Amino acid sequence: MSRRRNWWHRLTVRPDPARLLISVLAGVAVFVIAVELFPHHSANHDEGVYLQQAAMLLRGNLWLESPVPEAVRPWFFVLDGSRLYPKYAPVPAAMFATGLAVGVPRLVLGAVAAANAWLVGALGTAAFDRRTGLLAAVLLALSPMFLLASAVFLPYAPTTFLNLLFALGYVRAVRGGRLRDAVLAGTAVGIAVFARPYTAVLFALPFVLYSVALLAWNRDDRDRLLAVGRSLGVIAILGLAGVAVTLAYNRVVTGDPLLFPYAAFAPLDGIGFGYRRILGHDRLYTPELAVRANVRVLWQLLTRWGPIPPLGTVLAGIGVTRVLREQSGRDGGDAAPGLEGQGRSAEPDVAGGRRGRDARAGTDATHDGRPGQDGRADRSVLDDRTLRVVLLGVLASVAVGNVAFWGNLNVLAELSDPDDGLIALFGPFYHFDALVVLAVFGAAGATAAGSRILALADRVDRPSRREVLAVLVVAASLGGTGLTAAALDGPVERHGAYTDRYEQVYEPFEKREFDRALVFVPTPYGDWLIHPFQSLRNGGRVGGPVVYALDRGPAADAAVLDAYPNRTLYRYQVRGEWTVEPSGEVSAGIERLSARTARRHRATSNLGVVAGAETATVRIAAGGRAVQYGVEHLPDRTLSVEWLLTPAGARVDADGLRRYSDNRTVPVDGPTEVALSVTLTQHGGSTVTYRQELTVIPDGGRLRVLWPPRTRICRLTPRCGPAGTYLPGANDYVAGVDVTTELASE
């Protein structure tokens, strides 16, 4: 066959059209979910980390640099001098970068999902038959965790894609002896190790153990040892090359090949038992606690997040039982009905040749030009039955290996509450690879059950086998889709609440374009960018059309202004109580700022007098000192307060005010926040407080101020927090609330 004809054969004949259709549908479903349910990303803020890293890679940067790195530090980035680098390996980000490069990043999510469905189907075909492979792809596509965790920019689905490439390449290489398949397997596992070392090791471990056993079994057969050893050697060399690349990356980024960025960020956040810590969260992770947490996680996987839960788990149990029976009687007797008892004609296999199966013994042959004694390739190496055991080993390896990782405790939030924490939103995503095995054995169980039903139908005249099969297909399709939809209902509702909140807070950025802008961003979760505002990222470098910087106080903001001069200034503010759960109303606004420098500034605050107000007090504070006044005559509608700012200090114009202390001014020593508070007391003792905070920066004999001041309004307390942020136009304030400000500079 010519090269061109061989290529055309691979493209048109070898793929299973039905499995291809299922894979495409799975990819489309994930893409639609990503676009519709996660337009502003999810509650897992690691998405912003990977997208930030992807943008950096597109610019050829492994880290960010800034004169003020603390002010632009993204979530989960290591601070090293003026450098900022992510704690995660760059492989998933590099995959996401391909979508960023074409302007549709979520295309990558759909493509990875489609590829995973295709590869799971291929693995099911390799271990059982084409029908089982098709069902495996369907079951994976009907897994709630697959649909949701694949629709976000997280590393679990991409790493599973690499692991599946390794598994399929390994099967082809060992069965067929082709060098190109060994190269595929070795390259895939090497990249997977670079992406997520522990995840890759857990998946590959059963294949490694089988390889060792295979070499031991064939140590006296020189020809077979050489044939198998060549493939395994190529896989091992390329896999170790992935380890070498990982260590080289560590050397470049952290300065030490054995220091992973993950450990540089949080040295006690890793594999093993004992005291574990990341940022402000710590826990004594004991083996007992680990087992309890992982039992809970696995239960959630099997009952709520696996294929068509919980039916897929029942089917997988049937499939596993059949395989165990088969293994117990593999030296004699026929194969278990429904697994090996279904005869099939020659069909394309995952190795690219034509497969023929003895319906009674269950042996395969691959016509690949490598003849054995009967003119066919030797399929006794990693036969179907052995591959099934290896896949069960993957399930065991993932389940047992994750016990040593305290992340499985953290996804639960509360150990006893399955509707809390990230597991309630995405499922137990650290066990994403387990979906592969559940889908394959669930398909085997479905095939076995279907075969039993059809066998019973053959014993009666009516209904016919064809009619029974049609009913089974329709019932399975409707029932499976219904079970998956029911399992998705709760998580989708929770995600929708997060999306609604982000829709509200990002509204000020819609249709807004920046040109040499500097935007100060609030810090509800501490000094981190993209946590929680993932869409407000600096991209591949700090210094593009817009620079996002943390609003951390006068001294820090002054340093940012000096580091990024001659930019249009903005302040982004969020009003409402920002909580982890999307509860309560929030709104946001972005206001234009100006940095005004002069010898003195006279500010005027015109504040609405709320309904029922009887008295008022005025307070100005800075540098740990304060001066308080009483308002002698409260006007009916608007109280105007003038405050003067000079290098000598800040004070309130005392006309119409009664001062309660001997001091007249508060100091302005260095970058300072000058706060003016006006508290109105209503009949009955209720209060409404206006608080205005102005950043003042001494500049020689002059003062630079960021105008307008930040304004907050609160009730029943003079200590106004971010939840009381004043946004003009909001309609839920007490009657009479109004704020206008003026600044005259000399």
pLDDT tens digits, 405-452: 999 999 997 777 777 889 999 999 999 999 999 999 999 999 998 888
Predicted local distance difference test score (pLDDT) of residue 14: 56
Sheet containing 587-598: give its strands across.
546-550, 517-521, 568-575, 587-598, 702-715, 687-699, 672-682, 613-622, 625-631, 657-659
If you average pLDDT over residues 497-526, what whole number do you get? Answer: 94
Predicted local distance difference test score (pLDDT) of residue 584: 80
Residue 157 has pLDDT above 50, yes or no: yes
Q: pLDDT grade, residue 146 (50/70/90)?
A: very high
pLDDT digits (tens, 9 = 90+) for 286-311: 999 999 999 999 999 999 999 999 99
* CA 491 centroid distance within chain: 15
Residue 5 CB burial class (10 angstroms; 0-12, 13-18, ≥19)? exposed
Q: pLDDT grade, residue 40 (50/70/90)?
A: very high
d(CA 464, CA 468): 6
Task: Choose the weakest-confidence range: 128-137, 469-478, 727-736.
Answer: 469-478
- The residue type at 587: S
Residue 181 phi, psi dihedral angles, 5° rounding: -70, -35
Closest to 316 measured CA to CA, from 121, 447, 168 = 447
| Token pair of 26 as six digits | 């799975």
Q: Is 484 helix (H, G, I), strand (E, B) or coil?
A: helix
**Biggest CA pair distance of the chain:** 110
Residue 33 CB burial class (10 angstroms; 0-12, 13-18, ≥19)? buried
Residue 461 phi, psi dihedral angles, 5° rounding: -75, -40
Residue 617 has pLDDT above 90, yes or no: yes
Residue 55 has pLDDT above 70, yes or no: yes
d(CA 351, CA 390): 18
Predicted local distance difference test score (pLDDT) of residue 154: 98
d(CA 161, CA 245): 19
DSSP assignment of 124-192, as one string?
Answer: HHHHT-HHHHHHHHHHHHT-HHHHHHTTSS-SHHHHHHHHHHHHHHHHHHHHH--HHHHHHHHHHHHHH
Residue 351 CB burial class (10 angstroms; 0-12, 13-18, ≥19)? buried
Residue 720 has pLDDT above 80, yes or no: yes
Beta bridge partner(s), residue 658? 630
Beta bridge partner(s), residue 265? none
Residue 366 has pLDDT above 90, yes or no: no
If you average pLDDT over residues 565-594, what whole number do you get? Answer: 91
Structural Rg of the chain based on CA atoms: 32
Higher pLDDT pick, 594 / 463? 594
If you average pLDDT over residues 35-45, what whole number do you get? Answer: 96
Q: Is 629 helix (H, G, I), strand (E, B) or coil?
A: strand
Spell out the SS3 assignment of 62-90. CCEECCCHHHHCECCEEEECCEEEECCCC
User: 601 with 705: CB under 8 angstroms?
Assistant: yes
Q: Is 271 helix (H, G, I), strand (E, B) or coil?
A: strand
If you average pLDDT over residues 539-552, what whole number do you get? Answer: 94
Q: Is 603 helix (H, G, I), strand (E, B) or coil?
A: strand
Residue 208 CB burial class (10 angstroms; 0-12, 13-18, ≥19)? middle
Residues 6+ apart with CB under 8 A from 242: 187, 189, 190, 191, 192, 193, 194
% pLDDT > 90, the chain: 73
d(CA 131, CA 327): 21
Predicted local distance difference test score (pLDDT) of residue 465: 62
Strands 77-80 and 64-65: unpaired
d(CA 646, CA 638): 26
pLDDT digits (tens, 9 = 90+) for 177-205: 899 999 999 999 999 999 999 999 999 99
Sheet containing 638-646: give its strands across.
649-652, 638-646, 601-608, 739-745
pLDDT digits (tens, 9 = 90+) for 655-695: 889 999 888 999 999 999 999 999 999 988 899 999 999 99
Residue 378 has pLDDT above 90, yes or no: no
Predicted local distance difference test score (pLDDT) of residue 374: 38
Show the beta-strand stretches assigned E in 223-335. 274-278, 281-285
| First CA to last CA distance, the chain | 88
The region, left, alpha or beta by phi > 0 then psi within -120 to 50, assigned to residue 525 is alpha
Residue 353 has pLDDT above 50, yes or no: no
Please provide the size of the chain in residues: 746
- What is each CA distance from 278 to 256, 269, 514, in whole angstroms? 21, 6, 35
Q: Quickly tell me which residue has 């010519």 as its tokens.
A: 2
User: 647 with 661: CB under 8 angstroms?
Assistant: no
User: 525 with 532: CB under 8 angstroms?
Assistant: yes
Task: Choose the weakest-confidence range: 57-66, 254-263, 407-416, 539-548.
Answer: 407-416
| Token pair of 209 as six digits | 């153990």
Closest to 701 measured CA to CA, from 623, 600, 621, 602 = 600
Task: Choose the weakest-confidence range: 272-281, 416-425, 691-700.
Answer: 416-425
Residue 343 has pLDDT above 60, yes or no: no
Q: pLDDT grade, residue 462 (50/70/90)?
A: low
Strands 601-608 and 546-550: unpaired
Q: DSSP code of 301?
A: I
Which H or E run contains 695?
strand 687-699
User: 606 with 741: CB under 8 angstroms?
Assistant: yes
pLDDT digits (tens, 9 = 90+) for 228-247: 889 999 999 999 999 999 99
Closest to 539 measured CA to CA, from 44, 35, 39, 59 = 59
Residue 521 phi, psi dihedral angles, 5° rounding: -115, 140
Question: Half-sphere exposure (CA, 13 Å, Cβ side) for 729?
Answer: 4
If you average pLDDT over residues 46-51, what whole number do you get? Answer: 98
| Token pair of 617 as six digits | 């007090």
* CA 483 centroid distance within chain: 25
Q: pLDDT grade, residue 469 (50/70/90)?
A: low
If you average pLDDT over residues 105-122, what whole number do you get? Answer: 97
- What is each CA distance from 85 to 56, 346, 527, in whole angstroms? 10, 53, 16
Show the beta-strand stretches assigned E in 235-295. 274-278, 281-285
Residue 733 has pLDDT above 60, yes or no: yes
Predicted local distance difference test score (pLDDT) of residue 299: 96
Residue 583 has pLDDT above 90, yes or no: no
d(CA 121, CA 382): 18
Beta bridge partner(s), residue 575? 587
If you average pLDDT over residues 354-380, what whole number do you get? Answer: 38
